[in-house]
Amino acid sequence: GENVEQHPSTLSVQEGDSAVIKCTYSDSASNYFPWYKQELGKGPQLIIDIRSNVGEKKDQRIAVTLNKTAKHFSLHITETQPEDSAVYFCAASYGSSNTGKLIFGQGTTLQVKP
């Protein structure tokens, strides 16, 4: 069945350093790849997403890259700040087009040390 693998499960960086989280997916028909940030006690919040017709997308300190051939995508956070500390989830769409169904990775706990 469809699967998304996310690595690493935990990541600790110094403030100002960069953080990279990687995901691989199994369904070659996946065409939408969102990243969510979840703070303690809250629901996941979309921070950036990318569609399959784009290789890279940036939004200030956050960027996502997609390699459809290799079926992997990555989240890059530059100049990390303590408020970036949270759990990050990647996801990939599955099923027929526009179903909205997502399969999620296992999550990465990011700790940014001041």
Partner 1 sequence: DAEITQSPRHKITETGRQVTLACHQTWNHNNMFWYRQDLGHGLRLIHYSYGVQDTNKGEVSDGYSVSRSNTEDLPLTLESAASSQTSVYFCASKSGSGTDTQYFGPGTRLTVL
Q: Which residues bind partner 1 (CB under 8 A)?
A: 1, 4, 6, 32, 34, 36, 41-46, 49, 51, 89, 91, 93, 98, 100-107
State which residue, 80 or 88, has the beta carbon closest to partner 1: 88
As a residue count, the chain comes to 114
Dihedral angle computed from the Cα positions of residues 11, 12, 15 and 21, in that order, rounded to the nearest 10 degrees: -10
In the numeric block, the tokens 């939408």 are attached to: 32
Please name the residue that has the structure tokens 């997403």: 49
What string of DSSP letters covers 16-57?
A: TS-EEEEEEE--TT--EEEEEEE-TTS--EEEEEEETT-SEE
Closest to partner 1 by CB, 78 or 95: 95
Closest CB 44 distance from partner 1, rounded Å:
5
Query: Which tokens hold the place of 101?
Result: 């169904």
Smallest gap from Cβ 114 to partner 1, in A, equals 27
Q: Under a CB-based contact definition with an 8 Å cutoff, are residues 31 and 52 in contact?
A: yes
Cβ distance to partner 1 smaller for residue 26 or 49: 49
CB of 16 to partner 1, least distance (A): 29
Least separation in angstroms between CB 17 and partner 1: 25
| Residue among 1 and 114 whose Cβ is closer to partner 1 | 1
